[in-house]
Amino acid sequence: MNDFINRIKNNSNNAENNNSTIFKGNGVEKGIFSPVNGQLIGRINFADNKDYENILLTARSAFLVWRKIPAPKRGEIMRQFGEKLRFNKQELGNLVSYEMGKSVQEGLGEVQEMIDICEFATGLSRQLYGLQMHSERPNHRMIEQWHPLGVVGIISAFNFPVAVWAWNLSIALICGNVCIWKPSEKTPFTALACQLLLSEIIQANKLPEGISGLILGDQLIGEIMSKDSRIDLISATGSVNMGKKVAVNVASRLGKSLLELGGNNAIIITENATLNQAVPAILFGAVGTCGQRCTSTRRLIVQEKIYETLKIRLLKAYKQLRIGNPLNEKNHVGPLIDKEAVNAYLLAIREAENQGGKVIFGNEILDGPDHPGGLYVIPTLIEAKKDMEILKQETFAPILYLIKYVQISEAIEIQNAVPQGLSSAIFTNRLMESEFFLSTEGSDCGIANVNVGTSGAEIGGAFGGEKETGGGRESGSDSWKSYMRRQTCTINFGNDLPLAQGIKFDI
């Protein structure tokens, strides 16, 4: 179906033994099925402990070479990778869509996000600035400089199977680190495709292959990585549960972790919102990637005066959604990733009803020839009361809760009353409302937007959030500092040895 599958097959070690076996580690075998149509994409074998050890040692020795290459030259490698991605954008976008189930538009958007971060990293490779401080001592100079950490372990999730890796990889690499990537066990083929493209660049530039390693496996590999002190930084994206385990393992060896975990994102719609702007933002936020973005809009906090009007507009928009094969450009929404996700969707709706919520749209699994595999669901709208327990939970499915408010301070209170703190938004044309939302009394999230939805962030900003979202920042701004170690240097260019704080120590 996809040219990449054949290319991966031709490049893999044991492909000739079994036509459907595309990648072979030495661990257990697993069939990977597309959520789009339930068809087998191929089989892979997870890595075992020996594979892991090999990948790690290859990475550590590559680091000794890579760290000595000037940062702008490392940036040039990212430029070449970005160009390669441009050339392969359609094919890789299709594979993302087929293996993960998001609409092909969003699959292409994800590859574009990779291209953007490669270009950002190329420019950044000339801007890893340190500081100079004035010393209190004569003939002394103080500087702060940055060095690479070593090996960066990247653990990524199925929902953004390629972009989140690229955010981490590109910044980590230009900083002089090498990377080992453990993608989600649900999306190994997009990972293999990325690895294939990057290894072509690494080979063409005669660089050591260990600059970027790929390890396929389940959470056990993630656990081994997080306990391994030979990995200098673990950057993990995924569920809060996973993040808590990683955090404890890394902290117990006093290692560094960067966590980007769950979100429970809300949009506040005030009576001063432009609904023509708000409705498409709500829709894209709530049903994009079938509600499986960490930035998906899960709660809508609406001023009571416009509640009914907005509800009617939303119902109309939801009725127009086309749900089906995500590779067909006409469809807005593809399938959920697997049966467990469908069960979580059904369970959350039932739970919301038990807690007093009222389903006003959706709550249905689609089947028939246009919806094979049992993973297509109708995006759901639920009218909720602000104190329902379910509102605190991130369900990775297209369920949107509608909650009424009276005062803006109440809206902020509802918005912040969840354990997660990733993304948030307000729609208003009133300065006092938007500034209150952005003030210290406002949103407690890592991302706070005005007249822009909760999802679809640009790579130029730092991406991540507070509270159970984990506190890490990836991608743009000065996130690069998480991938380097800081060194403070005091240099004496005089003949004496004056001590700081004026201390006398004469012999």
- Known catalytic residues? 260, 294
Among 97, 125, 159, 415, binds ligand UN1 (CB under 6 A): 159
Q: Is 298 in the site for ligand UN1 (CB under 6 A)?
A: no
Q: Is 467 in the site for ligand UN1 (CB under 6 A)?
A: no
Q: Could you say which residues in the range 216-255 bind ligand UN1, by CB under 6 A?
A: 237
Among 212, 297, 455, 469, binds ligand UN1 (CB under 6 A): 455
Q: Near ligand UN1 by CB under 6 A, which window of 272-280, 313-321, 370-378, 453-461? A: 453-461
User: Closer to ligand UN1 at the Cβ: 296 or 380?
Assistant: 296
* CB 159 to ligand UN1: min, Å: 5
Among 158, 160, 284, 396, binds ligand UN1 (CB under 6 A): 160
Among 295, 303, 380, 395, binds ligand UN1 (CB under 6 A): 295
Angstrom distance (rounded) from CA 281 to CA 158: 23
Q: Please, what is the end-to-end C-alpha distance for the chain in angstroms?
A: 80
User: Closer to ligand UN1 at the Cβ: 56 or 418?
Assistant: 418
* CB 457 to ligand UN1: min, Å: 3
Angstrom distance (rounded) from CA 299 to CA 280: 15
User: Closer to ligand UN1 at the Cβ: 164 or 314?
Assistant: 164
In terms of C-beta density within 10 A (0-12 exposed, 13-18 middle, 19 or more buried), how is residue 270 classed?
buried
* CB 258 to ligand UN1: min, Å: 13
User: Closer to ligand UN1 at the Cβ: 157 or 375?
Assistant: 157
Pairing of strands 297-303, 265-269: parallel
Q: Near ligand UN1 by CB under 6 A, which window of 56-64, 159-167, 170-178, 269-277? A: 159-167
Q: Could you say which residues in the range 109-128 bind ligand UN1, by CB under 6 A?
A: 113
User: Closer to ligand UN1 at the Cβ: 164 or 425?
Assistant: 164
Angstrom distance (rounded) from CA 432 to CA 437: 9
User: Site size for ligand UN1, by CB under 6 A?
Assistant: 11
User: Closer to ligand UN1 at the Cβ: 160 or 345?
Assistant: 160
Q: What does 421-475 look like in DSSP terms, one character per residue?
A: ESEEEEE-S-HHHHHHHHSTTS--SSEEEESS-SS---TTSEE--EETT-S--EE
Among 72, 208, 456, 471, binds ligand UN1 (CB under 6 A): 456
Q: Is 164 in the site for ligand UN1 (CB under 6 A)?
A: yes
Both tokens assigned to 319: 């009725």
Q: Please give, one letter per residue, the 3-state secondary structure of 27-86.
A: CCEEEEECCCCCCEEEEEECCCHHHHHHHHHHHHHHHHHHCCCCHHHHHHHHHHHHHHHH
3-class SS of residue 410: helix
Backbone angles phi and psi of 297, in degrees to 5 = -80, 120
Angstrom distance (rounded) from CA 411 to CA 306: 14
Residue 30 · residue 186 · CB < 8 Å: no
Binding site for ligand UN1 (CB under 6 A): 113, 159-160, 164, 237, 293-295, 455-457
